[in-house]
Amino acid sequence: MRFVVQSLETGRFLCPSLLDGSPEWVRSLREAGGGVIGDYDEAVSMAVEWAENGEDLTVVDLDRLGTANDYGVGNAG
């Protein structure tokens, strides 16, 4: 499983740095590179700890995108 944390306010992604594993905000998934999170609970913990000024965040399951269970209209999620 592959998860990223995304700000619903800025669109930025929170992911582990490829250099040292510390959380960092990036503007695109391309910048995130392989710095995705393999565990949902870890992604939620990172979101809670690193939210800036109470911003709304969501955890995105990258493996769900483009499937029948995608986050599109009419799908729970």
pTM over 0.85: no
pLDDT at 21 over 90: no
Is it the case that residue 76 has pLDDT exceeding 70?
no
Q: Residue 73's pLDDT is what?
A: 59
pLDDT tens for 31-75 read 877 778 999 999 999 999 988 887 899 998 988 888 888 887 555
What are 6-9's contacts with CB under 8 Å, separation 24+?
6/57, 6/58, 6/59, 6/60, 7/52, 7/55, 7/56, 7/57, 8/55, 8/56, 8/57, 8/58, 9/55, 9/56
